Chain A
Amino acid sequence: MNNFRKKLPGTPYFFWSVLFIIIPLCMVFYYGLTDKSGAFTLENIIAIATREHSKALWLSLLLSLIATVICLLLSYPLAMILCSRKGGQHSVIVFIFILPMWMNFLLRTLAWQTLLEKTGVINSILSFLHLPALNIINTPQAIVLGMVYNFLPFMVLPIYNALAKIDENVINAARDLGANPAQVFFKVTLPLTVPGIISGITMVFIPALTTFVISNLLGGSKVLLIGNVVEQEFTQASNWHLGSGLSIVLMLFILLNMIVSAIFDKDGEGSVL
Chain B
Amino acid sequence: MNKKLIDLQHITKSFDGQMILDDLNLYIRENEFLTLLGPSGCGKTTTLRILGGFETPDQGHVIFDDQDITKLPPNKRQLNTVFQKYALFTHMTIAENIAFGLKIKNKSKSYINDKIAYALKLVNLEGYGSRMPDSLSGGQQQRIAIARAIVNEPKVLLLDEPLGALDLKLRQDMQYELIRLKNELGITFIYVTHDQEEALTMSDTIVVMNQGYIQQIGSPEKIYNEPENAFVADFIGDSNIIGGTMIEDKLVEILSARFPCVDTGFGTNRPVDVVIRPEDVILSSPANGRLTGTVTHLIFKGVHYEMEVTTPDGYEWLVHSTGMYPVGTQVGIDVDPFNIQIMHKPASEDEEAVKIDE
- Chain A positions within 8 Å of B, measured between CB atoms, are 167, 169-170, 172-180, 183, 187-188, 191-192, 194
* CB atoms of B73 and A174 under 8 A apart: no
What 10 pairs between A and B have smallest CB-CB spacing? A177-B101, A169-B87, A175-B74, A173-B87, A178-B104, A169-B83, A191-B91, A170-B87, A176-B81, A178-B75
Minimal Cβ-Cβ distance residue in A for B104: A178
Give Cα distance in the complex from A183 to B89, angstroms: 14
Kindly state the separation between the CA atoms of A180 and B230 in the bound complex, as whole angstroms. Answer: 46
Q: Are A170 and B104 in contact (CB under 8 A)?
A: no
Q: Is B80 in the interface zone, CB < 8 Å from A?
A: yes
**Residue in B83, B88, B104, B152 whose CB lies within 8 Å of A183:** B104
Whether the Cβ atoms of A175 and B75 lie closer than 8 Å is yes
Interface presence of B288 (CB below 8 A): no
B87 touches A167 (CB 8 A): yes
Say how far B81's CB is from chain A's closest CB, in angstroms.
5
Given contacts A172-B52, A172-B54, A173-B83, contact A178 B105 (CB under 8 A): yes
A177 B73 Cβ-Cβ under 8 A: no
Find A172's partner among B81, B91, B104 (CB 8 Å cutoff).
B81
Closest to B80 in A: A176
| Contact between A188 and B89, CB atoms less than 8 A apart | yes
Q: Which residues of A contact B149 (CB under 8 A)?
A: 176-177
- Determine whether B231 belongs to the interface, using a CB cutoff of 8 Å to chain A: no
Pairwise interchain contact B52-A176, C-beta atoms closer than 8 A? yes
Taking the closest CB of chain B, its distance from the CB of A56, in whole angstroms, is 39
Chain A residues near B250 (CB-CB < 8 A): none
**B50-85 contact mask (Cβ, 8 Å, vs A): 1 or 0:** 001110000000000000000001110000110111
Q: Knowing A172-B74, A192-B90, A192-B91 are in contact, say whether A177-B85 is a contact too (CB < 8 A).
A: no
When distances are taken between beta carbons in the complex, the residues of chain B under 8 Å from A179 are 75, 100, 104
Interface residues, chain B, with chain A CB atoms under 8 Å away: 52-54, 73-75, 80-81, 83-85, 87-91, 100-101, 104-105, 145, 148-149, 152
Q: Is the interface of B mostly helix, strand, loop or mixed?
A: loop
Question: Please, how many angstroms separate the alpha-carbon atoms of A42 and B99 in the complex?
Answer: 56
| Assembly CA distance A194 to B91 (angstroms) | 10
* CB <8 Å contact, B85 and A169: yes
Which B residues lie within 8 Å of A174 (CB)?
89, 100
- Cβ distance A170 to chain B, nearest Cβ, rounded Å: 5
The residues of A that contact B88 with a CB separation of less than 8 Å are: 170, 173
Beta-carbon nearest neighbor of A173 in chain B: B87
A-B contacts, 27 listed (Cβ < 8 Å)? A169-B84, A169-B85, A170-B87, A170-B88, A170-B89, A170-B90, A172-B52, A172-B74, A172-B81, A172-B83, A172-B87, A173-B89, A175-B75, A176-B52, A176-B75, A177-B75, A177-B100, A177-B101, A177-B149, A177-B152, A178-B105, A179-B75, A179-B104, A180-B75, A183-B104, A188-B89, A192-B91
Contact A177 B52 (CB under 8 A): no
Q: Which residues of A contact B73 (CB under 8 A)?
A: 175
Question: 5 new A-B pairs (CB below 8 Å) besides A176-B74, A177-B152, A180-B75?
Answer: A172-B83, A175-B73, A176-B52, A176-B81, A177-B75
- Chain A residues lying within 8 Å of B89, measured Cβ to Cβ, are 170, 173-174, 188, 192
Interchain CA distance A194-B90 in the complex, whole Å: 12
Interface centre among A174, A176, A187, A191 (most CB of B within 10 A): A176
B182 shortest CB reach to chain A, Å: 19
Complex: A152 Cα to B114 Cα, angstroms: 47
Measured between alpha carbons, how far is A14 from B104 in the docked complex, in Å?
Answer: 53
Interchain CA distance A173-B53 in the complex, whole Å: 11
Q: How far is the CA of A175 from the CA of B76 in the complex (A)?
A: 9
Complexed CA–CA distance, A17 and B75 (Å): 54
A69 to chain B, nearest CB (A): 23
In whole angstroms, what is the CA distance A183 to B105 when docked?
A: 11
Instruction: Tell me the nearest residue of chain A to B103, going by C-beta.
Output: A187
User: Which residue of chain B has its CB nearest to the CB of A183?
Assistant: B104
In the bound complex, residues from chain B placing their C-beta under 8 Å from that of A192 are: 89-91
Given the complex of chains A and B, what is the CA–CA distance between A180 and B106 in angstroms?
13
- Whole-angstrom distance between the Cβ of A121 and the nearest chain B Cβ: 45
CA–CA, A191 and B92, complex, Å: 9
Query: In the assembled complex, which residues on chain A have CB atoms less than 8 Å from the CB atom of B75?
Result: 175-180
What chain A residues lie within 8 Å of B80 (beta carbons)? Answer: 176-177
Are A177 and B148 within 8 A (Cβ)?
Answer: yes
- Chain B residues near A176: list those with CB within 8 A: 52, 74-75, 80-81, 149
